[in-house]
Structure 1
Amino acid sequence: MYQNKPRGGLLPELDNEKPFQPVYVEPIAAATRQIQSAMSAELFHSLYLSGNVARREAGETEDLTLLLVSTRSLNVQEYAALNTVRWRIEQSSDAVKRVLIDVVPLKEITNLANIFRWGFFLKHCAVCIAGDNLSKSFGHFEVSWEVSKAMNDDLARRLKDLRHKIAIATKWGAQLDASHEVAERLIRASFGLVAHKVQKWEFDLKPASEAFLAYYPDKSLEIERLFYLIERKPVKKRAVVALIDSFSAWVESEYAKIDRKIG
């Protein structure tokens, strides 16, 4: 999964050379071909894969999580083309639950103000599957408070969007999908509160939650409820929204508190 860990407590990077699990090879190749085809040569810079598939830890079915780095922001037609690619890959592979494609302009990646966000992500959380590998531009990172903040800096915006999706959902599938993502983001954000203390970065939700609860045992009920959502158990919309509002407010206040203390 990883290359040899660098010295001095720095984190290892994912091994770009290790083969992917066989069932995901064709979906990855097809997504790469179709995304490159949908984007002009001038617009496409590079494509990255993250998540369990990138770490070669995927189960029988898994999300295919992609990051497209573009030379500029995409227009409406270009986003529509990516949505078509996403739909095609989801329909063509039984192993792929969802295709998630984030798009980030190159200037945002290379902005030094974003080094703890995109530098850390590209170096330690993703593998380059096409284009110019930007991770080579960054040295290895160690787990720090700056990394935790940067990796969760879009939490409020993402949760607002997901909360809206839950509120307007008319089918269980749509509500369960959004609730699952909310829970995953909140568990990862919770772990971000203690990552600099445990001095490691957890990708799996269970050990991430356990590390968090070692410092915040009084939040065990909230974590238990979040795992209900991870397991896609049907929970009333009102209860999900209440959990999002209360726990996200606490997490954000705790980030602010730690930031004042460390900063």
Structure 2
Amino acid sequence: MNNKGLDEQGCIAREGSLGRIPREFRPVVAAARDRLTDVFGARMTSAYLYGSIPRGTARVGRSDLDLLLVLLEEPTEADRADARTLDEALDKEFAQIDGGGTLLVSRAQLLSDLERYDLGWFVACLCTPLLGEDLAEYLPRYRPDSLLARETNGDLALLLPRWRERIAGVADTEEARRPLVRFMSRRLVRTGFTLVMPRWNGWTSDLREMAEAFGAYYPERAAQMREAAVLGYEPVGDLAVLRSYVDGLGPWLAEEYARVHGVKAPRP
């Protein structure tokens, strides 16, 4: 693998592995594995870890536990409630993690043509198999090209109105706004990175490296993106930051993204 996350054929190499999980987080992952089997059983075809824990970069007390669960059928509200209960129990029991979230998708959706360059790419390149079959076997190899850029993050314009609603509805406290700052910062940095990804010709999940890659092509916006990368790791619940995202950086980024790569294929 080269130093830009590609293999010898120029395809994005899968990041993360169970062997990279830091020692402090192994009990959390073991508990999650056992409980997923207990709770979902035969409804589940696959479970994956993603994020900093399987990449080996998790920080005790600061990193969250990210899981993706693939079900045989479309997830129900009862399934989502079970997942939330599991997330809350793990977060309460293990001080090593700062929250967590379990994404639920169906096997059919994940392997559909529509999701091949979004959910499919996510599983094949950014997820580490934890339980069941590895659906990456049914997916293509992925290159850091414009098609991948469009289908992963070409929907920012659709997200911005929802973000404004969330900002308007969040409690007026620093603590309540902090998760929004973290979430939106990370999404904007990743979108900025995939905007330039085909020119940079590589992949990284490090927010600071993403921001530097972006800044090489858009120096006039580099400082904004570097600050967003910092807040993605160390968020502060500043309302002014959130407003700058939805009134400044976000709209510009959505417009530039559509100009360069086009807009993501509509979902049902």
2:256 to 248, 254, 257: 254
* C-alpha separation in 2, matches of 1:159 and 1:24: 34
Task: Answer whether contact 1:162 1:179 (CA < 8 A) is retained.
Answer: no
* Gaps in structure 2 of 5+ consecutive residues: 263-268
Specify the alignment match of 2:58 in structure 1.
58
Specify the alignment match of 1:180 in structure 2.
182
Cα deviations by residue, 1:156-193 (Å, 9 ceiling, x for unpaired): 55554444333222232221111111011001100011
Q: Secondary structure at the match of 1:45?
A: strand
Deviation at 1:15, TM superposition (A): 5.7
Which runs of structure 1 show a deviation greater than 6 angstroms over 4 or more consecutive aligned residues? none
* C-alpha separation in 1, matches of 2:28 and 2:157: 32
* C-alpha separation in 2, matches of 1:38 and 1:136: 26
Deviation at 1:71, TM superposition (A): 1.7
Are 2:87 and 1:92 equivalent residues in the alignment?
no
* C-alpha separation in 2, matches of 1:68 and 1:100: 11
* C-alpha separation in 2, matches of 1:130 and 1:228: 33
Moved more, 206-215 or 111-120: 111-120
Task: Answer whether contact 1:49 1:126 (CA < 8 A) is retained.
Answer: yes
* C-alpha separation in 1, matches of 2:161 and 2:32: 29
RMSD over aligned CA atoms reads: 2.4
Moved more, 94-103 or 4-13: 4-13
1:185-224 equivalent positions in 2, closer than 5 A: 185-224=187-226
Superposition TM-score, scaled by structure 1 size: 0.88
| Matched residue type, 1:26 | P
Moved more, 167-176 or 190-199: 167-176
* More RCO (CA 8 Å, sep 6+): 2
* C-alpha separation in 2, matches of 1:102 and 1:245: 29
* C-alpha separation in 2, matches of 1:239 and 1:9: 37
Deviation at 1:226, TM superposition (A): 2.3
1:91-130 equivalent positions in 2, closer than 5 A: 91-130=92-131
Task: Answer whether contact 1:165 1:175 (CA < 8 A) is retained.
Answer: no
Deviation at 1:35, TM superposition (A): 2.4
* C-alpha separation in 2, matches of 1:169 and 1:211: 32
Deviation at 1:102, TM superposition (A): 1.1
Q: Secondary structure at the match of 1:39?
A: helix
* C-alpha separation in 2, matches of 1:228 and 1:240: 14
Deviation at 1:135, TM superposition (A): 1.3
* C-alpha separation in 1, matches of 2:183 and 2:255: 21
Cα deviations by residue, 1:220-249 (Å, 9 ceiling, x for unpaired): 3432542464332342x2552242232221
Deviation at 1:60, TM superposition (A): 2.2
1:232 to 206, 230, 235: 235
Task: Answer whether contact 1:117 1:151 (CA < 8 A) is retained.
Answer: yes
Are 2:149 and 1:148 equivalent residues in the alignment?
yes
Task: Answer whether contact 2:80 2:104 (CA < 8 A) is retained.
Answer: no
* C-alpha separation in 2, matches of 1:162 and 1:115: 26
* C-alpha separation in 2, matches of 1:36 and 1:162: 34
Task: Answer whether contact 2:66 2:102 (CA < 8 A) is retained.
Answer: yes
User: How many pairs were matched up?
Assistant: 257
* C-alpha separation in 1, matches of 2:21 and 2:227: 33
Percent of aligned pairs sharing the same letter: 22
Deviation at 1:19, TM superposition (A): 4.9
Task: Answer whether contact 1:90 1:96 (CA < 8 A) is retained.
Answer: yes
| Matched residue type, 1:194 | V
Cα deviations by residue, 1:75-133 (Å, 9 ceiling, x for unpaired): 22221111110000001111111111111111111112322113321221111101111
Moved more, 151-160 or 140-149: 151-160
